[in-house]
Amino acid sequence: MFIPDGNFVLKSNDTVGITATHTEIQKFFKAAGLLQKQAKNVMILGGSRTAVYLSEMLLSIGCNVKIIEKDLTKAKLLCETLPGAVIINGDGAQQELLVEEGVNDLDAFVSLTGTDEENILISIFASNQGVPKTISESS
């Protein structure tokens, strides 16, 4: 670990780790000219614990979150846990459902189904539908 002083010069291929609040990180990236458009409309496939944590963070910064969960009992629990999110009970592996739920209007798509292959294939589909940012969970 190296904590830079006033003489430090960042060089190509240096790796930098930053710990800060969301607001401070946004300020940093803006000052560095690296700020990208923040995702506003996000769809998450699968209602895992990871999906709940991610949804809570996204909702807290003003994102619109839609979760597609196959299991009805889990979908009902998600409705209670995440009142600010839209919860859809359905099979997100069905392309028709994703299109019907507006996959082509998203800023980001996150696949957290628990099956690596399914996550990758569905994320490729979302990317082909024009979603600028796709994330696939893998073990």
Whether residue 104 is contained in a domain is answered as yes
- pTM exceeds cut of 0.85: no
Query: Percent of the chain scored above 90 by pLDDT?
Result: 68
pLDDT at 2 over 90: no
pLDDT at 20: 84
Whether residue 6 is contained in a domain is answered as no
- Mean pLDDT to the nearest integer, 88-114: 95
The 3-state DSSP class for residue 62 equals: coil
Whether residue 13 is contained in a domain is answered as no
Domain that holds residue 77: 42-136
Q: Is there a contact between 34 and 11 (Cβ–Cβ < 8 Å)?
A: no
Q: Is there a contact between 106 and 126 (Cβ–Cβ < 8 Å)?
A: yes
Whether residue 10 is contained in a domain is answered as no
- What's the CA gap between 109 and 30, in Å, rounded? 24
Output phi, psi for 112, to 5 deg.
Answer: -130, 50
Whether residue 106 is contained in a domain is answered as yes
Mean pLDDT of the chain: 91
pLDDT at 115 over 80: yes
pLDDT digits (tens, 9 = 90+) for 23-71: 888 788 778 777 667 789 999 999 999 999 999 999 999 999 999 999 9
CATH of the domain at 73: 3.40.50.720
Whether residue 32 is contained in a domain is answered as no
CA neighbor of 98 nearest in space, from 37, 38, 46, 49:
46
Quote the number of domains for the chain.
Answer: 1
The 3-state DSSP class for residue 20 equals: coil
Whether residue 46 is contained in a domain is answered as yes
Whether residue 1 is contained in a domain is answered as no
- Mean pLDDT to the nearest integer, 88-102: 95
Question: Where do runs of H (alpha helix) occur along the chain?
Answer: 22-31, 49-60, 72-81, 95-100, 116-128
